[in-house]
Structure 1
């Protein structure tokens, strides 16, 4: 998967420390963390995955 990171169609288990990048072929994205997701993470994800069809987010703690 990591040999051709820009050709993958699924990107799973992203956390709050997502490094960014442009993934033009990824359609399905999932991310999870034990800490609340920061607003900036959602912005970074929408910019990094322009053709995303499905987004799944899971965290164990809600934001206050």
Structure 2
């Protein structure tokens, strides 16, 4: 499934909630948030990037 950042509905804070799952077991590992920059970095690198609401910066 191809994700196009412009199609994602970010909330009024510019964030979207994301669920991270184990690819083998489908176990939910966490609920986190992405902003547009985190989503674009995730797509670009193939590694999940998230946005920290408390630190107000990206993290892996």
TM-score by length of 1: 0.20
| Greater strand content | 2
| Greater helix content | 2
TM-score by length of 2: 0.21
Structure with the bigger RCO (C-alpha within 8 Å, sep 6+) is 1
